[in-house]
Amino acid sequence: MLKPSLQLRLGTQLTMTPQLQQAIRLLQLPLMELHQTIADALEQNPMLEAEEDGEGDVSLDTLEASASAPGGESAEQAASRAEDPGDPVGEGDAEVADDSWEDGPTAATSDTPWSGEDRPQEFSDDSSETLQEHLAYQLRLSRLAPRELAIGEAIIDAIDDDGRLGDSLEMVQDCLRPELKCSIEEIERVLRVVQAFDPAGVGARSLGECIELQLAQLAADTPGRDTAIAIARDHLALVRDQRPLLRRTLNVDDEELDQALALVRGCHPRPGSTIQPYRPDYVVPDVYVRRGQHGWVVELNTGALPRIRVNQAYASHLGREHGQMRDLLKEARWLLRSLEIRNETLLTVARCIVERQAAFFDHGDEAMRPMVLRDVAEAVDKHEATISRITTGKYMHTPRGVFEFRYFFSSHVAATDGTEMSSVVIRAKIRKLIESEDAGNPLSDNRLAELLAADGAQVARRTVAKYREALRIAPSSERRTAPAR
């Protein structure tokens, strides 16, 4: 017969405390997310405060402005090269644009008809297609004669990123000369075709015409459509604060006017901005790698690290009766310790990677050594899971560009001499061979495999094809070009 009983047993068990979970989570956070996490902690924990020494306080906006693109220029440099969009409307609409259609969320005041929720939202697509490419695709699908297609291409070239036709028809006519002589009427006829393309309102020469083109695509029985078109065509300047005069001029009642104004406000003043190429993701480097007197030196990007401290004004006045505040103080101190652990681990792993891949920094991709997470974990005496977390989403700025930590980890390929070769080296060799090939007789995947084997890399043809596709290089049949006569 079974009877209930009590037994005492001794044992050890690893428990994931909230503090340990927080330390592990901070390890894998990229800098942007780390700053957001610290900002949340500053709001929730009064025992924490940001350091006020100016350069130490780095906001998310500052990070985004100083970020670098992997292998490219900084975001600040890219912004400095951007052209001033200028006035998006014609001279006749300048006053209306300044008051009601200006860029930025704070441009319009509370009494502006296009302010607040009435202002049409701007949503950009995530494709890599530019506005000109989007319009050129539609132009090719239209049933136009070759002469009209040439005119259409010139018109599309003159359309700016907002979708507005920046050049006059006379300037388009001059651009077509002397290859093509055409009249202004012929150009205007093709312009009307382009103005029917997506997005609605593209190719307009003024703000009023842009709105009118969008309204014209509505069904003819849409309430207020005709009145809205009349407003866009001749009375746009009265929309903001001349409602009584607008109602008398159009000879409509309040209901008709309200419907028309709603349609006008629903139009997009910059239709071209909805078709924009995908913007690259900019990253903030976690470490900097530079050449020193005795080799490569790795330093933390301290200017981008969040700098916080315990609020000593609160901590020094805590008594035994402040139980909840003392718990917040413990959380604050543990967060600071977790940040120290993260930075120490990040720097240690980065130094290990640079030390093992010193040949890459000296000579490039073809000198990359094969390396896996286990190699670094054993070198720094940490678990592979820790190395995986600290190398995910972390970047280093080097003289050769900005690279993610994961870039330096690659699979092994057997070499003919019994050693191992990094797959990065194989890809670099394939790219080099293809760049130097005869365009009239390109190298096939089989031939590439033979050349790699002669160079000491045993790689199967299907592996060469996989690496070639990863490099976005077409097969030999598509790379072949006819010899010049």
Whether the predicted pLDDT of 303 surpasses 90 = no
Residue 103 pLDDT: 36
Average confidence (pLDDT) over 316-341: 82
Q: Which of 51-60, 319-328, 395-404 has the lowest mean pLDDT?
A: 51-60
Is the pLDDT at 24 greater than 60? The verdict is yes
pLDDT > 70 in the chain, percent: 77
Give a three-class secondary structure readout of the chain: CCCCCCCCCCCCCCCCCHHHHHHHHHHHCCHHHHHHHHHHHHHHCCCEEECCCCCCCCCHHHHHHCCECCCCCEHHHHHHHCCCCCCCCCHHHHHHHHHHCCCCCCCCCCCCCCCHHHCCCCCCCCCCCCHHHHHHHHHHHCCCCHHHHHHHHHHHHCECCCCEECCCHHHHHHHHCCCCCCCHHHHHHHHHHHCCCCCCCCCECCHHHHHHHHHHCCCCCCCCHHHHHHHHHHCHHHCCCCHHHHHHHHCCCHHHHHHHHHHHHCCCCCHHHHCCCCCCCCECCCEEEEEECCEEEEEECHHHCCCEEECHHHHCCCCCCCHHHHHHHHHHHHHHHHHHHHHHHHHHHHHHHHHHCHHHHHHCHHHCCCECHHHHHHHHCCCHHHHHHHCCCCEEEECCEEEEHHHHCECEEEECCCCEEEHHHHHHHHHHHHHCCECCECCCHHHHHHHHHHCCECCCHHHHHHHHHHCCCCCHHHHCCCCCC
- Whether 294 shows a pLDDT value over 90: the answer reads no
pTM above 0.75, yes or no: no
Domain ranges of the chain: 16-70+283-363+379-404, 91-115+124-274, 412-479
Reported as a pLDDT band with limits 50, 70 and 90, residue 117 is very low
Q: What is the pLDDT of residue 397?
A: 93
| C-alpha distances in Å from residue 330, one per residue of 97, 320, 334, 336, 341 | 55, 14, 6, 10, 16
Residue, of 101 and 197, whose pLDDT is higher? 197
Instruction: Identify the pLDDT of residue 300.
Output: 92
pLDDT for the residue 111: 34
Please give the average per-residue pLDDT across 256-263, as a whole number: 87
Predicted local distance difference test score (pLDDT) of residue 108: 33
Q: Note the pLDDT of residue 53.
A: 57
Whether 298 shows a pLDDT value over 90: the answer reads yes
Mean pLDDT of 152-166: 88
pLDDT at 193: 92
pLDDT tens digit string along 442-471? 888 888 888 888 877 777 787 888 888 878
405-443: pLDDT as tens digits: 988 887 666 665 556 667 777 888 888 888 888 878 888
Of the options 1.10.3470, 1.10.10, 1.20.120, 3.30.1480, the CATH number for the domain spanning 412-479:
1.10.10
Listed range (17-21, 128-132, 284-288, 414-418) with the worst mean pLDDT: 414-418
Over residues 169-226, the pLDDT tens digits come to 888 888 887 778 888 999 999 999 999 888 889 999 988 899 999 998 888 888 888 8
Tens digit of pLDDT for each residue in 27-72? 888 888 888 899 998 898 888 888 865 544 444 444 444 455 555 4
Summarised one tens digit per residue, pLDDT across range 351-389 is 999 999 898 898 887 778 888 888 899 999 998 888 988
Number of C-beta neighbours around residue 445 at 10 A: 20
Q: How confident is the model at residue 84 (pLDDT cuts 50, 70, 90)?
A: very low
- Is the pLDDT score of 282 beyond 80? no
Average model confidence (pLDDT) across the chain: 77
What pLDDT, on the 0 to 100 scale, is given for residue 419? Answer: 60
Cα dihedral sign for 60, 63, 64, 69? negative
419 conformational bin, left if phi > 0, alpha if psi -120 to 50, beta if neither: beta
